Chain A
Amino acid sequence: MKNKVKRWTSLAVASSATAALVVGCGQPTNSGSTANTNGSASTVETSNTMVSVAGVRIAKPTHLVNYKNASGTIVWAESFTTGPTASELVSAFEKKYPKIKIKLQVQPSNTDTNRADLTASISGGSSTPDVYMGDVIWPAQFAHSQLAAPLSDYLPTSFWARFSNGLVQGATYNGKVYAAPLFADTAFLYYRKDLLAKYHLPVPKTWEQLESEASYIVKHGGAKYGFVWQGADYEGLTCDFDEYLADAGGSVLTNGKASLNTAAAKQALSFMRGLITSGVTPQSVDTFQEPQSENVFTQGNAVFLRNWSYAWSDSQNPASSRVVGKVGVAPLPTFAGHGTSGYSTVGGWDLYLNPHTKNLAAALQFIDWMTSPQAQEILAANSEMPTIKAVADSPSLAKYSPVFALLPQVKFVSRPAQTPNYPSVSKAIYDNVNAALAGSVSVTKALQNANQQIQQALSGSGSGGL
């Protein structure tokens, strides 16, 4: 409580200073609670419209909605790839709120096809789905294109305090929150504990250690390949690359500008390429998405695997895995001299609100409940990582999956998704990194090209839009 008061006062001081500066520049200040328009890149907020919550500054609600007595039917577009998670959630919700009925709409499992489908229907003015699941990297683009409604306009500021640190920030664009974090995901190092034991090797803490251990085990016939990951020409490669980059101390953007012409970027990409040339990773990793890399590991052909949290349960499923009981999981390593564990990319899915919904109250009630302890427990039981502190920080979480127990040790890195042109930025990364992995361009040239294309993409107009 004391802490909160302190934050409030410092915020008030800081923002009145900003306001003074703005007035000094002779610009008109925003009046009252009329918030900034979507899409404009730089809007000026005055002290009385912004509040700080969950580590991010957001605009105060403009149209608070009382949804306590909501009723009617809404459509929820869900994109869980497996299992009955969605229907379990819906029946629990309908039991608690019998006046609201949820109709499930199953979306394509391919993220890009899913986005194309949602874009087509919502930009066409369709009022359904009222609520939809979307990737954590969509908020800026969807807010900019008005495919998502600003939830923070309708929900009380206190609503956002329930989420774990950093998650609300990822869903914020120009001071408004456009999505409610539904479940999180991140990457881990899966390893063959039987092989490490056989060759008396420890679980690697650094990338260099991983490379030498993998190479040792392969050389002594322990496995066909050392380390498999995702190197294909797609979004997943951006995730993998960002981790090495963060471990080396770099980042894709620095002060809003592309910064891949750095020593850190070179170290990251050289290491990735080096894994291939040294034979630790098969050359065909540059065609691997998650299923291909996971398949090599679960068939017993690799010592190490980088994959998302779901790979744990897959590796323990005797129907598809030959390494049941032989797998260990740890935080990803880092480069020598950069600590004891590496960065993991933040993934996961959010709930978005269709701006054309005809039943705002019921939709908000649904979003509220989906981020409540009851729903988040159901998600955890289905191996999805909860997003609210009440569940995510609870010690009982580890019973659902051993990867949950590792979460306190994981350092997170977010993709640079705060721009509506993130898809082009990401493409500039994965296209060029993939070309370097294939060996068709040098590491230096690939990073030069990526840097230049990211800069073009950030400008948002012109040929950078391709």
Chain B
Amino acid sequence: MSTAMEERDWTRSAGGRSSVVRHDVRAGLGMLIPAGIVILAVTIFPILYSIWMSFNDIQLTQNGFQFTFNGIQNYVDVYSAPLFWHSVWFTVYYSIVTVAIELFLGLLIALAIQNVEKLKSVSVVVMLIPWSLITVISAEMWSYIYNGVYGVLNAILQGLGLIHNPINWTGEPVTAVIALMAADIWKTTPFVVIILLSGLQMIPKDYYEAARIDGANGWQVFWNVTFPQLRGSIAIAGLFRILQAFGVFDLPFVLTQGGPGSTTTSLAMLGEETLFTNLHFGLGAAVAVSTVILILGACLIFLSAFRGMVGEEAQ
């Protein structure tokens, strides 16, 4: 790697060989074209198309979409709907709570697995099972667990004498939100664990030895060695989780259909319904673009907050 860099520097400084460089650059660009076209087709174009859709009134006709530019009207309509702000609020607090708990639990589990001597690989595999299940399928499993009539959870709680009457887990606002969050945390904590576990293994062993020689106790070692060294992994895990949590769709789609009422209607569900059930493509695109902006904002806030909190500690 480094030799290649040096070679390039050398050729650049030697003026007589610039045509070769230009040839190389042209060949390189040429090789980029196929990948560039693919990215253009599957990423850039849909994004730009969605943004364009969100500024148009769209009717379906025999000849496909018929666009009529209507400026920010779709956004005005979306932002004046109480249901949209309800979905924003649900999505935001759902994401904050689940991601925070997942990061905390994930860190605990990663530290525990790191310190396990025997059966380390077995515990990693067992822990990965929830993550490897397709969400829709695990959501169906949870719907049987939570079922208010023949659900397993009520049977266990009643068997233990903790409750007398069955709880209608997904049928009441507060318990429905808790039920969704629990299923989400169960499913995605393993993902956080895997990322943090790999982060833990990157920390050089001699840091710990040095800390111990200096007489640091367990808490000091964690706070002054492990945590600062792990902050990159935590940031990555947090970012990925925020990206996913803000787009939560399949869990409420299966478990609550957004109910009771519209309590658990996430932004992604609202967007899907507007687009594919109501066939209001302009409004749906406006919901989608707003969601993207919200996710970008959330990621930026998370990153800057995380840097502010841990960055100084590390120095």
Contact = CB atoms under 8 A, between A and B. Distances in A.
Interface string B115-148: 0000000000000000000000000000000011
B263 interface: yes
B250 to A, nearest CB: 12
A123 B276 contact: no
B278 A287 contact: no
B167 to A, nearest CB: 9
Nearest to B80: A463
A324 to B, nearest CB: 20
Contacts of A427: 273, 277
Contacts of B148: 282-284, 287
Interface string A68-93: 00000000000000000000000000
A76 B233 CA distance: 52
Contacts of B59: 39, 145
A116 B269 CA distance: 13
Contacts, number: 133
A434 B273 contact: no
Interface stretch (B27-35, B251-259, B291-299): B251-259
Interface in A201-259: 225, 232-234
B309 interface: no
Interface in B137-169: 147-150, 166, 168
Nearest to A433: B261
A283 B60 contact: no
B297 to A, nearest CB: 21
B188 interface: no
A466 B149 contact: no
Contacts of B259: 232-233, 286-287, 431, 434-435, 438
B235 interface: no
Contacts of B260: 233, 286, 434-435, 437-438, 440
Contacts of B168: 282-284, 286-287, 438
B279 interface: yes
B277 A466 contact: no
B236 to A, nearest CB: 33
B171 A283 contact: yes
A146 B77 contact: no
A108 interface: no
Given A39-B59, A232-B257, A296 B149 contact: yes
B80 A147 contact: no
Interface residues of A, number: 49
B299 to A, nearest CB: 25
A428 to B, nearest CB: 10
Given A284-B149, A461-B77, A463-B81, A438 B279 contact: no
A112 B269 CA distance: 12
A124 to B, nearest CB: 7
A155 B80 CA distance: 45
B285 to A, nearest CB: 12
Interface stretch (B16-24, B61-69, B213-221, B238-246): B61-69
A179 B22 CA distance: 64
Contacts of A421: 278
B84 to A, nearest CB: 6
Contact of A466 (B63, B78, B173, B263): B78
A221 B260 CA distance: 31
A301 B256 CA distance: 23
Nearest to A231: B171
Interface in A362-386: none
B173 A234 contact: no
B274 A465 contact: yes
A119 B279 contact: yes
A33 interface: no
Contacts of A295: 150
Contact of A146 (B61, B273, B287): B61
Interface in B26-75: 59-65
A129 B272 CA distance: 23
Contacts of A141: 279
9 contacts: A39-B59, A225-B149, A284-B149, A284-B168, A292-B147, A356-B62, A438-B171, A463-B84, A466-B280
Given A233-B260, A284-B147, 11 more contacts: A124-B64, A125-B63, A286-B259, A292-B147, A424-B278, A427-B277, A438-B171, A439-B172, A463-B83, A465-B283, A466-B83
Interface of A: 39, 112, 115-116, 119-120, 123-125, 141, 145-147, 225, 232-234, 282-287, 292, 295-296, 299, 301, 355-356, 420-421, 423-424, 427, 431-432, 434-435, 437-441, 461-463, 465-466
